[in-house]
Chain A
Amino acid sequence: MRPPPGRRYDPAMISRLPGLSLPERVWNTARRWAVAWWRILYLGAVVLVLVLSPSSYGKGTRRALARHLYLDTAPVLLGFTVLAALISLVLTRIVVVTALSYGLSRYALEMVIRVLVLELIPLTAALFVAMRCTIPNGAQLSRLRQAGRLAALRSQGSDPVRIELLPRVIAGVFACVTLAALSCVVALVLAYLGVYGFNMAGLSGYTRMFGQVFSPSVTMVFVLKTLFFSLAVALIPMAAGLYDSGERTQPDSELGGLARMFAVLLLIETASLMGNYY
């Protein structure tokens, strides 16, 4: 870790050198941690307020919003749907064949729906959107900030959060919800086809079973989970991109943003599982 002679020392690296005492390092870490979470919460509140205020959808921002909405969702929609269809087809097949061999085929379809539609697809959609859209958008925001565009906007009197961040967050949420909805529908159709084949004979039983799985509480947990997934995926990388100042170490902070996003996803998933099954 020792730098080659003649190079300038990075202040961040200096802060990590073993010159600082343990309490100072703990304090620094805790402060960074608290500040990062606070920024996420604060930005979430700001975005929520902006989303709910009609002035955010003015003529100037509407075009940027439409652009982000379209560019974040449409290119990945087909690919992700195909991927989800493939996964659901394979999983349906595995579950149905296994259940048949144990003589539990009447529970197979319910299990497929629970595993695929309720649990796997929303999480996969959120992760996919994070990888394809929101993390690159966060990096883009960070580059814009470093290029001084945000400061320029601020100096022009407009709000950089409203101009640059809000469309990206809304686009991320929208992409997440769209992908999840479409792949859930595709997975439901494919599960039906995988079990009953191309006929309508099992439709009434399937509908009934679908209604039994999606009881009001399960539906509510599902909707909330998808919504919170999309919010977490859309918001946390943006927060990391927006707030990290140059005096901190950049790569470490981006990784921290990712880790925070995964932690939040994990928390939401755990909470939804507890809500559904306890």
Chain B
Amino acid sequence: MNDPTPTPPTAADGAPPVETLRPVAHLELKAAALLLFTLALIVGSGLYLLYARGAFEPTQTLVLTADDSEGVVVGMDMTFSGFPIGRVRRIELADSGNARILIDVPRKDAHWLRASSVFTLVRGLVGGTNIRAYSGILTDDPLPDGAVRPVLRGDATAEIPQLMATARELLTNLNALTSPDAALGSSLANVKTLTDRLNGPGGALGVLMGNETDAKKIIATLERTNALLARLDGMAARADRQVLGSDGSKDALVPEVRAAVAQLNGLLADTRASVKKVDAVLAEAQAVGANAREATNDLGALRAEVESNLRKVESLVNEINRKWPFARDTELKLP
């Protein structure tokens, strides 16, 4: 450090020129190869970049109009079913004050966009803005080049103020509910006294009746009902015995009824026999009736015959009377 000047020049006197003149085999070839390699790297990277930027792809233009282009950046994708099918090329302000978003859609992806397609601009809470295309009817006419479409905005952050207002309202209501003089508090206090009374003497009956005497009355009623039921039980047992009878006893109702029914059965059998006899009598009476009808018919014929005979006799008598007048009363009476 004290004496830097004398030593380095002597050390470097002859060495560097000798070192720089060390020969390299096929120097020019190697240098040219290296140059070509670097050139190829740079040109290749440039071409890949151009390809990645879509420079070699035929595109068609789609113009989306939005009232606010916030979050939209040049180069961002437009997606269809999650697949990028277009790229924002430019954003400009139209004369009407709307934002015009110019999107390049490669021709090979353009068939996803139809005349009836809908475009949305969605801004999430986290992450960037997304432009999405929806094509409901894929058989519709394809979207023409340079088509202008409005974009629907769906903004998650835009709903935050509304959400906050609602939340505040909810909190206010909650506060009102939980304040010491609120209805909820007094209701809870009532519930507490109720549970106290439920736990106390009388329990739920006391709660239902309101005071203890009524509850006691209810209990007394219950006890009397119990006694009544016991008596009813006894009565039922007795009735049972009377109706069905105990083993060996003859004074029960049901065996007597059974015997009466047996007798009734016999009676009915007798009746059936009598009815059969009546039936036979009736059959005979029917036969008599039939005979009588026939006889009546014959009588009719007979009567007709007698009537015709009588008429003949009468006409004969008249004839005779005319021809031979037995009655001499032929005078004419004049008025």
Contacts and interface: CB of A to CB of B under 8 A. Distances in A.
Nearest to A177: B38
B27 A7 contact: no
Interface stretch (B51-59, B177-185, B268-276): B51-59
Given A147-B13, A177-B42, 12 more contacts: A66-B27, A66-B32, A69-B31, A140-B20, A182-B38, A182-B41, A211-B51, A211-B52, A212-B75, A212-B76, A219-B49, A249-B4
B24 interface: yes
Interface of A: 3, 7-8, 10, 13, 63, 65-67, 69-71, 73-74, 140, 143-144, 146-147, 149, 174, 177-178, 181-182, 184-185, 207-208, 210-212, 214-215, 219, 246, 249-251
Interface residue SS majority, chain A: helix
Given A73-B34, A147-B12, A211 B41 contact: no
B5 interface: yes
B35 interface: yes
Contacts of B3: 7-8, 10
B56 to A, nearest CB: 12
Interface residues of B, number: 40
8 contacts: A66-B27, A67-B24, A69-B34, A207-B52, A208-B52, A210-B48, A251-B1, A251-B4
A158 B53 CA distance: 49
A210 B46 CA distance: 12
Contacts of B24: 67, 70-71
Interface in B22-39: 24, 27-28, 30-32, 34-35, 37-38
Task: Identify which of A65, A70, A74 gathers the most chain B CB atoms within 10 Å of its CB.
Answer: A70
B4 A143 contact: no
B297 to A, nearest CB: 116
A232 B209 CA distance: 101
Given A8-B3, A70-B27, A181-B42, A146 B9 contact: yes
Interface string B148-179: 00000000000000000000000000000000
Contacts of A10: 2-5
Contacts of B76: 212
A249 B32 CA distance: 41
Nearest to A72: B34
B2 A3 contact: yes
Contacts of B27: 63, 66-67, 70
Given A74-B30, A246-B5, A210 B38 contact: no
A201 B16 CA distance: 54
A71 B42 CA distance: 21
Nearest to B76: A212
Interface residue SS majority, chain B: helix
A179 to B, nearest CB: 9
A241 B32 CA distance: 28
A220 to B, nearest CB: 12
B53 A214 contact: yes
A214 B49 contact: yes
A208 B78 CA distance: 12
Contacts of A146: 8-9, 12
Nearest to A246: B5
A69 B17 contact: no
Contacts of A246: 5
Contacts of B16: 140, 143-144, 147, 149
Contacts of A177: 38, 42
Contacts of A147: 9, 12-14, 16-17
Please name the 9 residue pairs, one residue from A and one from B, whose CB atoms are nearest each other, closest first. Answer: A211-B52, A143-B12, A66-B31, A181-B41, A211-B53, A178-B38, A146-B9, A207-B52, A70-B31
Contacts of A7: 2-3
Contacts of B17: 144, 147, 149
Contacts of A63: 27-28
A143 B34 contact: no
A201 to B, nearest CB: 13
A251 B4 CA distance: 9
B2 A178 contact: no
